Structure formats: C-alpha cells, structure tokens
C-alpha cells in the first residue's frame, strides 16, 4: 500500500515537474531580461523539489522499474546542485546555463537507455521516448555551446516532454500497477 502511494506521488510529481519545465521554458523564450538572483533561486528550488521527487520515484515500485531506475543518484545530484544554487548563486550563476545543458544531456542519455529497455518490455511507445531523448539531448548540447535564453527555453520544453513521456508510457496509473 505504501508503495502505491509513493508511486502515485512520483508519477504525479513527474507530471508536475514536466509542467514546471514547460512554464520555465516558455518564460525563458519570451522573457529576455531575467534577474540573475531570482533565476538562480527559483532554479535551486526546482532542482531540490525535482531531486526529492526522483528519490521518491526510485524507492517506489513501478511495474517495469524503467522510469525511476537512475533516480536515486540523479535525485541526490539535483538536490546538491539546488542547494549550491540557493546558497552561492552569485558565484555559481555563470555556470547555470551550461549546467542546465549538462543535466538535460545526461537525462536524455539515460532516457535513451530507458527507451531501449522499454522496447524489450514490449512498450509500444518506446520510440517516442527515444525521439524525445534525442531531441532533449540535442538541445542540451546546444545549451552547453550557445547558452542563450532561446536554447534554454527549448531545452526545458524538450526536457518537460521527455519526463512526461517517460512517466506516462512506462508507469501505469497506480490503480493499474
């Protein structure tokens, strides 16, 4: 019973994080004057929340063990990075743009592996996860190289779609699990 609650929370958390990525992506694309302090603090909070959701996902029992298979280490990394941003954002802010690209690239590469495993399990939408991973990874690389508001926005939108795809296609609603 506790695993079902964790699974529901993790699934819903991933969907909500996807929505946050969509909002942040559109905000980056449409707003060209972001306050560095506010950007760093809001990014730090989002990273910490995302890290907590990832760790909860890892300790929940999803049917295929696909969506959350790398989430303990990734969640811990996100929490540490979020705390660094919150407490040293002035010094760390210059690294925010490439760091975003690195995180999205890493998540995309791990999701390529998830798509391969999903195919082995017979999940029909494995190719959507693969395509979303490739698109996300491409925008992650562009963010590392270019680091503009546009590439950050597009990378965040791609990451939101990737996270949403992985959780919706590999984690059935808890009442079906």
Which two tokens mark 39?
Answer: 């950007």
Rounded CA-CA distance 11/164 in Å is 9
Report yes or no: 66 and 55 within 8 Å, Cβ to Cβ: no
Instruction: Determine the pLDDT at residue 79.
Output: 94
Instruction: Determine the pLDDT at residue 3.
Output: 67
Task: Phi first, then psi: give them for residue 61, nearest 5 degrees.
Answer: -105, 95
Report yes or no: 167 and 38 within 8 Å, Cβ to Cβ: no
The pTM (predicted TM-score) of the whole model is 0.85
- Give the helix/strand (H/E) hosting 145: helix 126-145
The DSSP letter of residue 63 is S
Which two tokens mark 125?
Answer: 């939408």
Rounded CA-CA distance 24/27 in Å is 5
Q: Where are the beta strands (DSSP E) in the chain?
A: none
Instruction: Determine the pLDDT at residue 93.
Output: 67
Residue 124's contacts (CB-CB under 8 Å, 6 or more residues apart) are none
Report yes or no: 166 and 111 within 8 Å, Cβ to Cβ: yes
Instruction: Determine the pLDDT at residue 177.
Output: 46
Average pLDDT score, the chain = 86
pLDDT band for position 39 (cuts 50, 70, 90): confident
In terms of pLDDT, which residue wins out, 139 or 62?
139
Residue 155 has pLDDT above 90, yes or no: yes
| Average pLDDT of span 139-164 | 93
Instruction: Determine the pLDDT at residue 119.
Output: 94
Residue 24's contacts (CB-CB under 8 Å, 6 or more residues apart) are 46, 153, 156
Instruction: Determine the pLDDT at residue 58.
Output: 86
Task: Phi first, then psi: give them for residue 168, nearest 5 degrees.
Answer: -70, -35
Rounded CA-CA distance 95/175 in Å is 42
Looking up tokens 């811990």 gives 76
* Alpha-carbon radius of gyration of the chain: 16
pLDDT in tens, 90-122: 677 677 788 889 999 999 999 999 999 999 989
């Amino acid at each position: 019973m506790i695993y079902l609650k964790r699974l529901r929370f993790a699934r819903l958390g991933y969907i909500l994080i996807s929505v946050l990525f969509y909002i942040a992506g559109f905000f980056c694309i449409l707003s060209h004057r972001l306050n560095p302090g506010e950007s760093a603090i809001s990014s730090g909070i989002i990273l910490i929340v995302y890290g907590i959701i990832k760790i909860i996902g890892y300790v929940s029992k999803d049917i295929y063990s696909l969506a959350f298979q790398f989430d303990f280490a990734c969640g811990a990394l996100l929490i540490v990075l979020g705390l660094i941003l919150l407490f040293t954002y002035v010094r760390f802010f210059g690294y925010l743009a490439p760091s975003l690209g690195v995180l999205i690239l890493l998540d995309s590469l791990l999701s390529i592996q998830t798509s391969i495993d999903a195919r082995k399990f017979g999940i029909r939408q494995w190719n959507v996860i693969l395509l979303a991973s490739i698109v996300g990874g491409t925008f992650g690389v562009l963010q590392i190289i270019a680091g503009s508001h546009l590439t950050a926005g597009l990378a965040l939108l791609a990451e939101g779609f990737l996270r949403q795809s992985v959780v919706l296609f590999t984690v059935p609603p808890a009442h079906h699990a």
